[in-house]
Chain A
Amino acid sequence: MNRLSPFNVVSLTLGFVFLYVPMLILVIYSFNESKLVTVWAGFSTKWYGELLANDAFLDAAWVTLKVAVLSSTIATILGTMAAYVLVRGGRFFGRTLFSGMIYAPLVMPEVITGLSLLLLFIGIGLDRGVLTIVLAHTTFSMCFVSVVVSSRLMTFDQSLEEAALDLGASPFEAFRLITLPIIAPAVISGWLLAFTLSLDDLVIASFTSGPSATTLPMKIWSSVRLGVSPEINALSTILIGLVTVGVIAASLASKQAALRAKRDEQQAARTA
């Protein structure tokens, strides 16, 4: 293997410093004894304890989780259906328009999406709360799911569905028993994408929530405006921890799958 040149060492170091030093500082200060965020006064876990006792944060976390699970699930169902129709539906009137329009929310500024949804909810007289946030998140994350799933469907061998039909499956059975299990990884990553988008959305949630529902990003944002408290550091550290564990688990799982596939192929080659 090539040794790293001094230039590469420098650029690598700079890159990692820019990416991770802010987070590292945040993690370190979450264990700070002092109430002042910028002054180190010894190690303590008391802010974690206070965080657990803070009902406002816990409520907000609970609302966020509910919204994320609900909206990503609905978005996954609708987005998968949309992708299926756009990829498999053949040529119907307005197909090009629809497939173009599915990308629009991806590039639309969130402020505009949020504002338009707010106007809609006011217009139809829907009380703003958890329901409206769920609807709003479903709306904008659905197109992400649809993009992920349709790119998988485009490479999907259509003769598999034809084979299922040929063997007597109804079109729905063919989808449920053959297509869905095969595209499941794309559907799951679509769900995860929608879930994370919903978790960290601040703008759209601010537009569409009411007094009864505050999400965690909204709560963090509003408390930071009153001054950064060490509790926020503790909360952020927990979130960073969760994300880190999730990413590591996912990459380990996919590495395992790749190894298994390779082993299978070798086995097939041996018995050929």
Chain B
Amino acid sequence: MAETVFAPWDDPDAKPLIRFRNVTKRFGDFTAIDDLTLDIFAQEFFALLGPSGCGKTTMMRMLAGFENPTEGAIELAGQDIAGVPPNKRAVNMMFQSYALFPHLSVWENIAFGLRRESRDKGAISARVEEMLKLTRLEKFAKRKPHQISGGQRQRVALARSLAKAPKLLLLDEPLGALDAKLREATQFELMDIQEKTGTTFVIVTHDQEEAMTVASRVAVMDEGRIMQVATPEHIYEAPQSVYVADFIGDVNIIRGTTKAAGEDRYQINWADGHSPLHAVSNRPFSDGQNCHLAIRPEKVSIHSGQPQADNAVQGKVLDIAYLGNLSTYHVELASGEIIKAQVANTRRISRRDFTWEDPVWISWTETAGVLLDQ
């Protein structure tokens, strides 16, 4: 039985839940969002990723209703939501600071939104209990926010924002205040809850690992524009620009000029006196065009003798970063460029093959790199 993959963005008939249409947002002279168009589909876990000041928080605040676009329209389920105040939107937000009401107990915090729309005490109580159970907070219902730990506060904030069963849940750097271990556990918890409730999640983060872990699609933003929207694998393996390649994970960039060498095949002249590199690319390049070859360190292998490979270059080990499970070798080429090669440490450290100043060969296949024009 073929499993249907969740990919409404590839389906031309799918109706997006959220639609940004040529949205521009200016604060005085500053343009926070620049003519941005984006579709987000129901039940997606969508991540807005970018450095601080790239406009991702502004997008979230426009969805919540705290800001209105200067130009363009934002549609939620086909309706233009500009001018609809935040308290009239079927959108809830989990704040970066959690914004728990300090004078109310955990139970009352979760019930706050429900009490605004309904007077049925039984229904409210049942829903709050359900939320407490979902976030494993039953024991803490009577506590005030300052009487619980950071991780528990994070779960209260999540429970409170989910209690009204919103069409869309916005999460603003939800895990920023947690330590590394708790973060990881909470990321999976979030995904679990998102799956259970079927709510559409939009998460804002500057942590690329977090975005890659939780999201069905990631939008990489820079200076108010979206650089690329794709699944985490696509973003990582097929970035469309040097910015995206560089922002997500570690990458080696080699500059050069292209020369066609057969169908979808190119030679890259990158340094005088070095034999050209070879790469496969769907993106067309003309002869002599400037290009960037982006190769992930884990796709570069390292050898003591000259290997039989599409691309092989000689250099010497400049630095070794030992990360426990992996080691990253910084290899300096004769041309002065430094290429990082990552090797899994399957052997004990005492039997490591290379050390500082060793002459080595590095190699990669012609499909390992991505050829980019910008």
Interface, chain A (partner B; CB < 8 A): 157, 159-160, 162-171, 173, 177-178, 181-182, 261, 264-265, 267-269, 271-272
Contacts and interface: CB of A to CB of B under 8 A. Distances in A.
Contact of B86 (A157, A166, A272): A166
Nearest to A158: B99
B87 A166 contact: yes
Interface stretch (B140-148, B302-310, B351-359, B363-371): B140-148
Contacts of A261: 146
B112 A181 contact: no
Contacts of B86: 162, 165-166
B99 A163 contact: yes
A167 B103 contact: no
A159 B113 CA distance: 15
Contact of A168 (B64, B87, B101, B151): B87
B95 A169 contact: no
A157 B93 contact: no
Contacts of B119: none
A272 B116 CA distance: 31
A268 B147 contact: yes
A268 B148 CA distance: 5
Contacts of B120: none
A269 B93 contact: no
A12 to B, nearest CB: 38
Contacts of B4: none
Given A163-B95, A168-B164, A182 B151 contact: no
B11 interface: no
Counting contact residues on chain B (CB < 8 A from A), the size range is: 20 to 34
A157 B103 CA distance: 13
B117 A168 contact: yes
B66 interface: yes
The 5 closest A-B pairs by CB, nearest first: A272-B149, A167-B113, A168-B116, A163-B99, A159-B99
Nearest to B116: A168
Contact of B113 (A160, A168, A178): A168
A119 B95 CA distance: 53
A168 B165 CA distance: 12
Contacts of B140: 271
A272 B151 contact: yes
B87 A170 contact: yes
A152 B165 CA distance: 34
Contacts of A168: 87-88, 113, 116-117, 164
A160 B145 CA distance: 13
B78 interface: no
Contacts of B288: none
Of A159, A166, A171, A178, which is in contact with the most chain B CB atoms at under 10 Å from its CB? Answer: A166
Nearest to B102: A182
A271 B160 contact: no
Contacts of B88: 168
Interface in B115-130: 116-117
